[in-house]
Amino acid sequence: MQILKPAVAGTLESSDVMVTLEPGLDGIELSLTSSVMNQYGRQIKKTVLETLERLEVKDAKVTVVDKGALDCTIKARVECAVLRSCDKADKNIDWGGVIR
């Protein structure tokens, strides 16, 4: 999917994650901050990148601010932000159908 416009999903509440997507030019540019970076930073990055790959996102600026979210929450927030940025969130979407 091609990122057409900036989009945000999630909150900065405890146990959540805020994902911001913007159109990019050359691959995925990921910026990650987390309250649990030392313990789970690599896993969070892996989850975000795998989700973007499954959604076939090739070029994007991705900003992730994690407040201790579980992997399932991270996947859901990334999926939501991608679909919002592609103007597909208002269509009849099988939420969670792409992410396994």
Rounded to an integer, the average pLDDT of 13-36 is: 95
pLDDT digits (tens, 9 = 90+) for 50-69: 999 999 999 999 999 999 99
| Domain residue ranges of the chain, discontinuous segments joined by + | 7-85
State the architecture of 7-85 in CATH terms: 2-Layer Sandwich (3.30)
Does the structure show a pLDDT above 90 at 72?
yes
Kindly state the average pLDDT of the residues 83-88.
85
Residue 94's pLDDT is 61
pTM assigned to the model: 0.88
Angle, CA of 9, 57 and 92, to the nearest 5° = 60
- Tokens for 15, please give them: 């146990």
Confidence of residue 90 (pLDDT cuts 50, 70, 90): low
Mean pLDDT for the chain? 90
Give the count of beta carbons closer than 10 Å to the beta carbon of residue 68. 15
Given this model, what pLDDT does residue 34 score?
Answer: 96
